[in-house]
Structure 1
Amino acid sequence: MELNVIGSKPVQVSDAVFGKEFREDLVHQVVVAYRNAGRSGTKAQLTRSEVNGTTKKSKAQKGGGARHGALKAPIFIGGGVTFAAKPRSFAQKVNRKMFRGAMASILSELNRTGRLRIIESFGIDKPKTQSLVSKLAELEASGRCVLVAENAPEALYLAARNIPYVHVVDGAAIDPVSLVGADHVLMTVDSLKKIEEWLA
Structure 2
Amino acid sequence: MTMELAINNSSKTLAVSDEIFGREFSEDLVHQVVVAYRNAGRAGTKAQKTRAEVAGTTKKSKKQKGGGARHGALTAPIFRGGGVTFAAKPRSFAQKVNRKMYRAAMASILSELNRQGRITVVETLELDSPKTSGMVAMLKSLDAGRRPLLVTEDATENLYLSARNLPYVEVRDVQGLDPVALVGADSVVVTADAIKKIEEWLA
Over residues 135-194 of structure 1, what are the superposed CA-to-partner deviations in whole Å (9 max), with x where a residue is unaligned?
111111121000001112111111111123111101111011111010010000111001
**What's the counterpart of residue 63 of structure 2?**
60
Gaps of 5+ in 1: none
Which of 8, 12, 30 in structure 1 is aligned with 2:33?
30
**What's the counterpart of residue 199 of structure 1?**
202
Q: CA deviation at 1:2?
A: 0.6
Q: CA deviation at 1:87?
A: 1.0
Q: Does 1:4 align with 2:6?
A: yes
Which of 146, 151, 156 in structure 2 is aligned with 1:153?
156
* Amino acid in structure 2 at the alignment position of 1:179: L
Number of positions where the alignment pairs a residue of Structure 1 with one of Structure 2: 200
* Amino acid in structure 1 at the alignment position of 2:82: G
- Aligned mates of 2:51, 2:131 — CA distance in 1: 59
* Amino acid in structure 1 at the alignment position of 2:98: N
Instruction: Give matches, 1:109-120, under 5 Å.
Output: 109-120=112-123
Which of 181, 186, 191 in structure 1 is aligned with 2:189?
186
Over residues 104-147 of structure 1, what are the superposed CA-to-partner deviations in whole Å (9 max), with x where a residue is unaligned?
00000010000000001023121122222111111111210000
TM-score scaled by length of structure 1: 0.96
Tell me, what secondary structure is at the counterpart of 1:177?
Answer: helix
- Aligned mates of 1:123, 1:63 — CA distance in 2: 83
- Aligned mates of 1:116, 1:91 — CA distance in 2: 30
- Aligned mates of 2:128, 2:189 — CA distance in 1: 17
Over residues 19-41 of structure 1, what are the superposed CA-to-partner deviations in whole Å (9 max), with x where a residue is unaligned?
01011111111111111111111
Instruction: Assess, with a 3 A threshold, how the Cα gap between structure 1 residues 177 and 59 changes in structure 2: closer, same or farther.
Output: same
* Amino acid in structure 1 at the alignment position of 2:114: N
Q: CA RMSD in A?
A: 1.1
- Aligned mates of 2:61, 2:73 — CA distance in 1: 6
Q: Does 1:144 align with 2:147?
A: yes
Q: CA deviation at 1:61?
A: 2.3
- Aligned mates of 1:42, 1:122 — CA distance in 2: 40
Tell me, what secondary structure is at the counterpart of 2:182?
Answer: helix
**What's the counterpart of residue 89 of structure 2?**
86
Tell me, what secondary structure is at the counterpart of 2:34?
Answer: helix
